Amino acid sequence: MIEVLFEFGNETILVVIKGKDVQFGSTTYGAQLADISGMKLSYDGAVKEFPDLAHREDWQEEATLRFKDHIIKLNSEEKVYHYIVEELRSYGYKPMTKKMKGHRPVKIK
């Protein structure tokens, strides 16, 4: 299990990776975790990542399925971690700490 904290504006976002399961939550709300299907995705971000979804009405469901499929293809939690960090970093999220298997958090540079 890998837990990563991100800073986005004045919010702190928690991402928990357990095998192929990725959960997201805001510590502002007591870290209620939800998978990607429980989140509101940005239309602009989804279209930037998947241009073919631009004029589809089911763009959010399709973007969610593609995200889950990509996570399944990654072989390890560490690869999922690197993918999540790089993707969120490109949207302005600043990674703060990484915590693996209950050990102390380590600052991310």
- The tens digit of pLDDT for each residue in 78-89 reads 999 999 999 889
In the chain, domain spans: 2-101
Q: Write phi, then psi, for 33 (nearest 5 degrees).
A: -95, 145
Classify 87 as helix, strand or coil.
helix
Closest CA to 87 of 15, 1, 9, 27: 15
Judge whether 6 and 92 are in contact, CB under 8 Å: no
Paired tokens of 13: 């976002």
> Would you place residue 11 in the very low, low, confident or very high pLDDT band (cuts 50, 70, 90)?
confident
> Mean pLDDT over residues 29-37, rounded?
78
pLDDT score at 33: 85
Question: pLDDT tens digits, residue range 36-72?
Answer: 887 778 898 889 888 999 989 999 999 999 999 999 9
